[in-house]
Chains A and B, each alone.
Chain A
Amino acid sequence: MAQKNRTLIASIGDTMTGLLLAGVGDIHSQHGPNFLTVDDKTDQQTIERAFSSFTGRKDIAIILINQNVADRIRGILDAYNAPFPTVLEIPSKDHPYDPSKDSVLKRVQLLFGD
């Protein structure tokens, strides 16, 4: 029943303006913002820390992460297998979506022994 409190959509990426325009942005008085803007200067540790923080929060249901940013923390993402928050990779402005890196496709391929 704890899942009922999960209402927020968190996001990690290089182009946050769009998602924030859609109304997902939330700045919690204790936990801080539910989004992280990543640029060239953002180091891997910051992204990893943000991801761990979002996965540890009880009010986040979905984490959206740009695929190019996800590539930078691929190890952590592959190891993550909790049902909530659900992690979904999305394309960014400058990096179109690469279906070959899709985790769902990989799982289906694994099932068919490809």
Chain B
Amino acid sequence: MDLHKSTNQKIDDGLLELLDEFSEYQRIRESSNALLRQAFFDLSVARRSAGYQWISADMYSGRAQAITTVDVDPVADNISIVRKHRQEQCADEAQQEGSSEGLRRRRQASGATASADSSDGEKDEHNSSDMDEQTATEKRNSAPSRVRSDDPLLWFGMLVPPALKKAQGGFVNALDQIVQLAQLKRQLEAKQKALQLMLDQTHSTSDTD
């Protein structure tokens, strides 16, 4: 009898948990739907201002690489979003280049020139420091162009309407919530299966009694 009671208690607790998660699912669903609606509106505005042929499937890149991915944690059974912006990658690459070979090699080259022309030593030293500054500035200036090369926004041209940027932001935010929804859906399905099993067992036990 006590065993029966504890099973019922477990089912009740499980159902309450399921309902809590389901209300959370519905809340995120509504929020993501609202975000998507606004993003679609912004996209339509961008299409109208830029021209329908400029923002269409014909403009998709043939070498697209995902910059928004997910990380599946099999231990915690969790899905989380990973935004691997090329910005970060390029910044890392630039840092590595800066710290290892690139700049040093240039210094050596300027040093070699200085040693070859020893009479103008001071002048060359001054020139080499100028060169270093110049290369550093060049590097800084060239970095942003590399940073942005993988942004899907650029498929639609260099000067895109602000509404398209706004739409992109909207879709990015919506995607965050969509991934949360996917995770919640998995959890809810697993809970539902477990509860269904418990309910079936309880029914079969009460039938035999």
- Which chain A residues have a beta carbon within 8 Å of chain B's beta carbons? 1, 3-4, 6-9, 15-27, 33-34, 37, 61-62, 64, 83-84, 86, 88, 90-91, 93, 96-97, 99, 102-105, 107-108, 110-111
B66 to chain A: closest CB distance in Å? 4
- Flag if B70 contacts A20 (CB, 8 Å): no
- When each residue 145-167 of chain B gets 1 if its CB lies under 8 Å from chain A and 0 otherwise, what string results? 00000001101000000001001
Q: Which 10 A-B pairs have the closest CB atoms?
A: A23-B68, A26-B66, A23-B67, A25-B64, A22-B171, A7-B69, A21-B168, A18-B171, A3-B74, A3-B72
List 29 A–B pairs whose Cβ atoms lie within 8 Å, in order of A's numbering. A6-B70, A7-B66, A7-B70, A18-B40, A18-B174, A19-B171, A20-B152, A21-B171, A23-B67, A23-B152, A24-B175, A25-B66, A26-B66, A27-B63, A27-B65, A34-B66, A61-B72, A62-B79, A64-B178, A86-B182, A86-B185, A91-B36, A96-B37, A105-B22, A107-B192, A108-B22, A108-B188, A111-B15, A111-B199
Q: B74 is contacted by which of A1, A8, A111 (Cβ under 8 Å)?
A: A1
CB neighbours of A37 from chain B (8 A): 57
- What is the 8 Å Cβ interface bit string for chain B, positions 165-200, against chain A (1 contact, 0 not)? 001101110110011011101101110100110010
- CA–CA, A91 to B178, complex, Å? 11
Could you say which of B29, B57, B190 contacts A17, with CB atoms under 8 Å apart?
B57
The CA-CA distance from A93 to B36 in the complex, in Å, is 8
Given contacts A9-B68, A23-B83, contact A107 B40 (CB under 8 A): no
CA–CA, A102 and B32, complex, Å: 14
Complex alpha-carbon distance, A66 and B157, angstroms: 27
Residue of A nearest to B69 (CB): A7
B202 contacts the other chain (CB 8 A): no
Structural contact, A104 and B189, CB atoms closer than 8 A: yes
The reply to whether A22 and B168 form a contact with Cβ atoms under 8 Å apart is yes
Q: Contact residues of B with A, CB < 8 Å?
A: 15, 18-19, 22, 25-26, 29, 32-33, 36-37, 39-40, 43-44, 55-57, 60-72, 74, 79, 82-83, 152-153, 155, 164, 167-168, 170-172, 174-175, 178-179, 181-183, 185-186, 188-190, 192, 195-196, 199
Query: In the bound complex, do residue A18 and residue B167 qualify as a contact, i.e. CB atoms below 8 Å apart?
Result: yes
Q: Which of B57, B182, B199 contacts A16 (CB 8 A)?
A: B57
Bound-state CA distance A23–B67 (Å) is: 5
Q: Collect the chain A residues with CB atoms within 8 Å of residue B174's CB.
A: 18, 22
> Do the beta carbons of A88 and B36 come within 8 Å of each other?
no
**Do residues B57 and A97 form an inter-chain contact, with CB atoms below 8 A?**
no
Write the nearest CB–CB distance from B94 to chain A, whole angstroms.
21
Alpha-carbon distance between A62 and B78 when the two chains are bound, in angstroms: 12
Are B188 and A25 in contact, CB atoms less than 8 angstroms apart?
A: no
Q: What CA separation (Å) do A110 and B33 show in the bound complex?
A: 25
Residue among A4, A6, A62 having the largest count of chain B Cβ atoms under 10 Å: A62
Partner of A111, one of B32, B44, B152, B195: B195
